[in-house]
Chain A
């Protein structure tokens, strides 16, 4: 049994992939994010919508276990993030979540191919070169596979970062402003790609954005309000 604001581990249950209970976060005496109760079912494509400073990134950090919420709890794949020791949290993130950040965070010393290979090695314990080549081709970077991140345009870098998140075949793909640097055509292409791969692998998508160009593609939306006083 769980109280309204608590969650218990239930790995075997066929429940939501992500479940928040009474979730909010306070920083420097200010509530920077307040969601309350929320669920994301497996295979769903959800949009996290809100103006700048509404706590989208804070929520993503909490979902991915990088930040412990001030109030409430969140479970991913049946495990309560904040209840896990750091090593288990790292392992859950590695097994379950693929991340695309607003800043690309590609490793500058590695080529696009090697960035994907490193992510695959860390998440899956092996490297599938054919799958990597296929993914790079799907994001339209086949001609830039050997390029270093600094040699890529912002848009190319964004596509490479998305390819890295998708190559690990994670159950949950979390993207923070993935299309902010892309033109209309590439933004649409990226969202198509994310939907395709998510559908093909059964992955769940959680995309945080204030990009109105892609908002209409999502039926499942979570609106975050502007910050409120604690």
Chain B
């Protein structure tokens, strides 16, 4: 009977192809949304792991989180270097890691920080060693793969967060690659890490902890060092009390801004979520439309085939065999639509990640599967089955002799 179902589907090939395409488009839309939203949330969670609070200049808290945790926005400004020891002295603060941003190399951000930062995100060295002296750099796995940079290679940073090969360069202060990180699936894969002092050095700011240079007056040294700032400080709490007390205290009592990644990300996802929900609703509607289309197609086909069905009964097909035959038509359509939809969905994610820089930065992975996809496939098969069973049961109610007589 499966052979008969395939023969019927082949017999009305265009109709079959259109129904499969319609269902495939709806499945693909849902798969794309599912993969995009789940991988986005997963990426947000992974990138913010261990970071309980970010302290930076006053401005938008979301901008502060996006620029300092996810490295996708420009910073709100800089804060005095004193902020770092100040935070470290606070009760309940386990770790305070400074970040100094401002330059990039071939669109990859150069981040002045401490070795504690890659450790916080679970990154480890693939080869080489961690940066220690000024102008030493450790590159993330994506940076190494995309730029082809190797250990010992020198490179010059450009001014700005996303400068390519164009724009002003700091030719006189090259970095040297001393280490390469293993892939982590986090934002650190796309960063170039160095000491904070390297970033100051590139911009002519002296390290306040360093002795003044020969020929430089103590006043000049003070003046240069006075400009030493950091862009943000990532804070990990050691006690839950700090989580309750510190953000509010910093925002009320200082010129600094404290933002909590979990709060800002959930706010962002809520905003993005409205859009995603609307697209999801559209995709569900598309799937129902596909189901209705299969229903109409099978209903029409079975109406035309009432005589065939009656004849099948006459030559020995049981009622269960007839239902099975029609149901298998619906299921074959739905299976083909679901399979094509899955391939299409993953293909679109893959193509988007390969061709759109921002999406690649989010780490979209076409080869990752989400358990929710099984539900989408099950829904598609269920719709196909229901769309087939209704006309099948209707045909079975017909009187065989009458059907054959009417068809004469």
Contact = CB atoms under 8 A, between A and B. Distances in A.
Interface of A: 57, 61, 64, 66-67, 87, 90, 93-94, 99, 101-103, 105, 107-110, 114, 118-119, 122-123, 164, 168
Contacts of A119: 315-316
Given A105-B311, A114-B3, 11 more contacts: A66-B404, A103-B307, A103-B404, A103-B407, A105-B307, A109-B7, A110-B7, A119-B315, A122-B316, A123-B316, A164-B315
Contacts of A57: 405
A43 B401 CA distance: 26
A93 B3 CA distance: 23
B298 to A, nearest CB: 14
B407 A109 contact: no
B50 to A, nearest CB: 63
Given A61-B401, A102-B408, A94 B315 contact: yes
B317 interface: yes
A90 B4 contact: no
11 contacts: A93-B314, A94-B315, A101-B404, A103-B307, A108-B308, A109-B11, A110-B7, A114-B3, A118-B4, A122-B312, A123-B315
B313 interface: yes
B68 to A, nearest CB: 65
4 nearest A-B residue pairs (beta carbon):
A94-B316, A122-B316, A109-B11, A66-B401
Contacts of A105: 307-308, 310-311, 314, 404, 407
Interface of B: 3-4, 7-8, 10-11, 307-308, 310-319, 321, 400-401, 404-405, 407-408
B316 A66 contact: no
A2 to B, nearest CB: 26
A92 B317 CA distance: 12
A61 B405 CA distance: 10
Contacts, number: 62
Nearest to A68: B401
B304 to A, nearest CB: 9
Given A66-B404, A109-B11, A99 B4 contact: no
A57 B406 CA distance: 12
A90 B401 contact: no
A79 to B, nearest CB: 16
A61 B402 CA distance: 10
B318 A103 contact: no
Q: Which of B316, B317, B405 has the most CB of A within 10 A?
A: B316
A114 B313 CA distance: 17
A103 B131 CA distance: 88
A109 B4 contact: yes
A28 B316 CA distance: 30
B381 to A, nearest CB: 23
Contacts of A107: 4, 7, 308, 311-312
Nearest to B405: A57
Contact of B318 (A67, A90, A123, A164): A90
Contacts of B4: 107, 109-110, 118
A90 B316 contact: yes
A99 B314 contact: yes
Contacts of B311: 101, 105, 107
A123 B317 CA distance: 8
A61 B313 CA distance: 13
Contacts of A123: 315-316
A111 B126 CA distance: 64
A101 B308 CA distance: 12
A94 B405 CA distance: 20
Contacts of A122: 312, 315-317, 321
Contacts of A90: 313, 316, 318
B8 A109 contact: yes
A164 B405 CA distance: 20
A124 to B, nearest CB: 9
Contact of B314 (A64, A109, A114): A64
Nearest to B321: A122
A124 B316 CA distance: 10
A93 B308 contact: no
Contacts of A99: 314-315
Contacts of A102: 408
Contacts of A164: 315
Contacts of A93: 314, 316
A90 B319 CA distance: 9
Nearest to A87: B318
Nearest to B408: A103
Contacts of A101: 311, 404
A110 B3 CA distance: 9
Contacts of B307: 103, 105
B17 to A, nearest CB: 16
Nearest to B10: A109
Contacts of B312: 107, 122
B25 to A, nearest CB: 27
A66 B401 CA distance: 6
